[in-house]
Amino acid sequence: MAALNLDLFWDNIDTKCTLWSDVPSDVGSRECILGIDEAGRGPVLGPMVYGASYCPVSMKDQLKHMGFADSKTLSEASREKYFEKINCSSHLGWIVEILSPNYISNLMLRRTKYNLNSISHDSAAGLINKLLQRNINITEVYVDTVGDPTKYQALLSSKFPHIKITVSAKADSLFPIVSCASICAKVARDHVVSSWKFPEMGHSSDNEEFGSGYPADPITKQWLASNTDHVFGFPSVVRFSWSTAANILASESLPVHWEDDEDTGGSAKITQFFSSKRSTTQDSSHRYFRERNLKFVTCL
């Protein structure tokens, strides 16, 4: 589908990318409502996609009669048809942010706690900011909740005090504009997963059968077990921060032995590298500095 060119994503497969439609002709500077929803929050395979759709406030009632529904209740063919309808509309626009599996895992496993809820909240706020920067006059936002809706709504309202924010459970079935966002997010994710490129294996996902991608799916479990490299782990389509993936790695992969564990007794205090009592010569000769051709400099 020409409106969903994924080249940008494949060029940034370890991070995230944003795709969007042209601004519809009927939008202009008119006051707009915006709906936000996600697709692929739970799967161990593939990206998570945050989607948003917007239209003039004056179209709010008309949306109710266009047949939009939560993407999870629609067949893939129906979602594609509705996405085409959104693309051809003169008053509906969309934007999606595709977060790759590696991007999600790297954030969740970093030292500073950054969980999936925080990633979701930041993605939603980021979509609002991007549209405001394109001079879309957003006055109302409807969001399908992640976590506590009251706290989520307060968070977004603090970031955008001039916008009326409504965060609700099941918003994708309550507000047609959120249903539009849900369809955009799900279609984008479906396209990414169905065309996934496996540089590790030298092919695309056309002939791959990995089921729904959810951890409880037997087909997905079997695919994970069959595609575990004992040294390098999983292909890039896998979210290695999920416990399903971690458990398989723990049982199937080769254990890693770090030489420094012997040198330091297993755990060196970081303060030892900043001690003022250690001489420059002594510190510079440590293996860490020699291997990286570094000089130790004492900061006073």
Q: Where are the domains of the chain?
A: 7-194, 206-252, 262-291
Give the model confidence (pLDDT) of 85-95 as tens digits: 999 999 999 99
- Give the class (CATH, top level) of 7-194: alpha beta
Q: How far is CA 213 from CA 13, 255, 272, in A?
A: 18, 26, 45
Mapping DSSP to helix (H, G, I), strand (E, B) and coil, where does residue 39 land? strand
The model's pTM is: 0.81
- Give the class (CATH, top level) of 206-252: mainly alpha
Residues 6+ apart with CB under 8 A from 88: none
Cα atoms in the 13 Å half-sphere on the side-chain side of 167: 16
Give the model confidence (pLDDT) of 9-60 as tens digits: 888 888 999 999 999 999 999 999 999 999 999 999 999 999 999 999 999 8
Lowest-confidence pick of 60-64, 148-152, 174-178, 259-263: 259-263
pLDDT above 70 coverage of the chain, percent: 80
Q: What is the pLDDT of residue 201?
A: 65
Cα–Cα dist 246/52, whole Å: 32
Whether residue 248 is predicted with pLDDT greater than 70 in this model: the reply is: yes
Give the model confidence (pLDDT) of 267-291 as tens digits: 555 555 554 444 444 444 555 455 5
- Could you tell me which of 126, 120, 155, 157 has the C-alpha nearest to residue 141? 157
Q: What is the mean pLDDT of the chain?
A: 84
Q: What is the pLDDT of residue 281?
A: 45
- CA end-to-end distance (rounded Å), the chain: 60
Q: What is the pLDDT of residue 268?
A: 55
Q: Across residues 61-84, what is the average pLDDT?
A: 86
Q: What is the pLDDT of residue 85?
A: 92
Say which residue the tokens 């936000």 belong to.
36
Give the model confidence (pLDDT) of 154-207 as tens digits: 999 999 999 999 999 999 999 999 999 999 999 999 999 988 888 766 655 655
Give the model confidence (pLDDT) of 39-48 as tens digits: 999 999 999 9
Whether residue 141 is predicted with pLDDT greater than 80 in this model: the reply is: yes
Q: What is the pLDDT of residue 1?
A: 40
Q: What is the pLDDT of residue 107?
A: 93
Q: Across residues 132-152, what is the average pLDDT?
A: 96
